[in-house]
Amino acid sequence: MAGFFIDWFNLLLRWGHMTLGIAWIGASFHFVWLDFSFRKRERMNQGVYGTSWMVHGGGFYHVEKYLVAPATLPGDLHWFKWEAYLTWMSGMFLLAVQYYWNADAYLIDASVMPLSQSGAIAISLLTLAGGWIVYDGLCRSRIGRSPGLLVACVFALVVGAAYLFTHIFSGRGALIHVGAFMGTIMAANVFMVIIPNQSVMVGQLMRGEVPDGEFGRIGKQRSLHNNYLTLPVLLMMISNHYPFLTGSGQAWIVVALVLVIGALVRHFINRGDAGDPFEKHAWALPVAAVALLAAIFVSLPREAPAMVGGPVSDDRVLAITGTHCIACHSAKPTNSAFAAPPKGVVLTTLDGIRQHGDQIKQFAVIGRAMPLGNTTHITDLERAELGAWIDAHK
């Protein structure tokens, strides 16, 4: 019964994280669109850079953007910050519940690197914090004044982190950490730069001083970075459902290509929102399509392990699943992480193994995502025998 309530807790935590993420991403996308939509009008208030007219939900909206800040501010100024803060906080809580609490199953793979639970968690926290420190240092250095060079350095930073994670953690743990790595940078941008800079400008305005536009420039730079990182983050966050990604021997290359794809798609959308002629940014989608084909090629399933010996008997395949599978995939799992068999897959009988043969081949034989963390130390020969029995009984 305890497992049942843990599953509900996990579900509600995921639901909350997803809801908060939608709110944050939605606000980010809207304000980037809004920034590109401002137009100069014949009549505008003093200090206004441009205005935007919108219609939604049966109403009309007129928004003004000031070059730096208006002469006065109302008392009900709204700050868009809690969406980012709570998304990151709920994401870290979910990371702790799913990957830290069950580190042996989800985070650690002894065949990649034998780690203790405390060691794996320490590496996770240090790399997430270190990623922000390096990124922030790049932005504040002279490199930050060169947008193209800064983009190249941030790209190298994320790909380098992906390479590191894929050589430390399990396949699932590696890609979810790539997402957490970028998500931490994005949330820290809001908490450490964007909101503090806006606070400084508001304080200057309240004191009757002319606000320093440099704070706004820096905040906009970080906000734009967040916008371009959003699509890759979303894919990393759902990657653990797809063993062809998590089990890929070149997953870090897939991450690099996903960064390119996400950035190009956002660039296409952003320039379209800015009103640029279509022919000036149309190139982005074909290039993104080429990168997508490259990602598919890199993630192609590896060949199943070569079979040794003759046909595999029914007793042998039941012995393999009994040792490596049924702790989770039985009517009443003995693995404390599950109150019910994942996805309803029960592998205690030959009929069950035959029924779910394609999934077994995808997740355990070729994808190697199962058993979780390979805590049962299944061998390549056992994977080959399992695959051979499935092929023979289709």
* DSSP assigned state of 39: B
Q: Which helix (H) or strand (E) holds 52?
A: strand 48-56
Q: What are the sequence ranges of the domains in the chain?
A: 2-37+73-298, 314-392
* Whole-angstrom distance, CA of residue 384 vs CA of residue 390: 10
pLDDT at 105: 79
pLDDT at 306: 57
> Is residue 266 within 8 Å of residue 230, measured between CB atoms?
yes
Residue with tokens 């990602």: 295
* Whole-angstrom distance, CA of residue 177 vs CA of residue 171: 10
Please give the average pLDDT of every successive group of 10 residues along the chain, which has 394 residues. 71 91 90 86 84 89 82 79 93 92 85 90 96 96 92 96 94 93 96 90 78 82 92 91 78 95 93 86 94 91 61 86 87 78 84 86 79 80 85 82
β-pair partners for 39: 51
> Is residue 299 within 8 Å of residue 244, measured between CB atoms?
yes
- Amino acid 7 reads D
| Of 322, 316, 392, residue with least CA distance to 361 | 392
pLDDT at 136: 96
* Whole-angstrom distance, CA of residue 194 vs CA of residue 156: 23
**Residue 38, exposed/middle/buried by CB under 10 A (0-12, 13-18, 19+)?**
middle
* Whole-angstrom distance, CA of residue 272 vs CA of residue 266: 10
